[in-house]
Amino acid sequence: MIKNITLTPVTTLPKISEPVVPAGNQPGFGELLARAIETVNAEQVKADVTIQKFLTGEIQDVHQVMIAGQQARLTMQLALEVRNKVVEAYQEISRIPV
Amino acid sequence: MKMFQSLAISGSGMTAQRMWLDLISNNIANVNTTRTREGGPYQRQAPVFAQRLEQVLQGGYQGAGVQVSRITRDQSPPRLQHEPEHPDADANGFVSYPNVELNKEFVNMITASRAYEANAAAFESAKQMALRALEIGR
């Protein structure tokens, strides 16, 4: 037997306020992109350094080299996917007839 | 990056297992060694694996792989063999040989190499997960 079903009254949702963007404070798209590319580059450099260390005998584990390589590959893939999306969006906008 | 956490964990496991295999190889290589730096016969070496901690969570902690915290020596008595002509023989003509047992070492070797493979498989599946996540965007 079901007793005491209380229904909560539907309250009106708070009005979506306009996002306040302080001009000049937020990092621009260019800056974000530059930062992302910096990360990808850092991974690539790390992989290179690891291979060098392996060849000079500083690192003795083959798997460390392979792991660094795979990490570089994965970050690169992520960057590529993001780039594809950006280019796609740009093309979509450029196709708008004016 | 958090995305690479599982890759690093698998990597630490592989490093630990490889180190264990190093010790096993050393034990096998020194199966007849009667002279060491400390004097006396070689003693079998074994690793002690310790968990690496990353951060404490609510009521627990998150691990961050494994590491070999120290290397122990097997203190069990040496294998005595009657060889009076051996230069390291004692007064009764017995030579103390290392307490390494080849069958034990071989079993450990299979364990270490299988554990290495398991870590490699975990690594592979973490990589596949990341690649699958990237495919969502396509």
Q: A29: pLDDT confidence band, cut at 50, 70 and 90?
A: confident
Residue B49: its H or E element: strand B45-57
Q: A97: pLDDT confidence band, cut at 50, 70 and 90?
A: confident
B120–A71 C-beta distance less than 8 A: no
Cα–Cα distance, A93 to A62 (Å, whole number) = 47
DSSP state of A6: P
pLDDT value of position A15: 64
pLDDT value of position B112: 94
> Does the pLDDT of residue B115 top 80, yes or no?
yes
User: Hey, is the C-beta of B138 within 8 angstroms of any chain A C-beta?
Assistant: yes
- Longest CA pairwise span in chain B (Å): 79
Q: B48: pLDDT confidence band, cut at 50, 70 and 90?
A: very high
| Sign of the alpha-carbon torsion through B8, B9, B14, B15 | positive
Using a CB-CB distance cutoff of 8 angstroms, which residues of chain A are in contact with residue B18?
Answer: 61, 63
Instruction: Kindly report the backbone phi and psi dihedral angles of residue B54, in degrees, each rounded to the nearest multiple of 5, phi listed first.
Output: -100, -60
Cα–Cα distance, B69 to A45 (Å, whole number) = 30
pTM assigned to the model: 0.74
Cα–Cα distance, B52 to B26 (Å, whole number) = 26
The Cα of B39 is separated from the nearest Cα of chain A by a number of Å equal to 30
Q: What would the DSSP string read from start to end of B4-62? A: GHHHHHHHHHHHHHHHHHHHHHHHHHTTT----TTSSS---EEEEEEEEEEEEETTEEE
Cα–Cα distance, B129 to A29 (Å, whole number) = 28
What are the boundaries of each domain within chain B?
2-136
- What was the ipTM of the complex prediction? 0.71
Place of tokens 């190093």: B22
Mean pLDDT of B96-109: 92
A64–B15 C-beta distance less than 8 A: yes
Q: A10: pLDDT confidence band, cut at 50, 70 and 90?
A: low
B15–A67 C-beta distance less than 8 A: no
A81–B3 C-beta distance less than 8 A: no
Report the residue from A64, A71, A85 with minimal CB separation from B4: A71
Cα–Cα distance, A86 to A60 (Å, whole number) = 41
Are A64 and A50 within 8 A, CB to CB? yes
Are B76 and B41 within 8 A, CB to CB? no
Instruction: Kindly report the backbone phi and psi dihedral angles of residue A21, in degrees, each rounded to the nearest multiple of 5, phi listed first.
Output: -110, 105
For residue B15, how many other CB atoms are within 10 A of its CB?
21
pLDDT value of position B2: 67
Residue B107 identity: V
Cα–Cα distance, B100 to B122 (Å, whole number) = 32
Mean pLDDT of chain A: 81
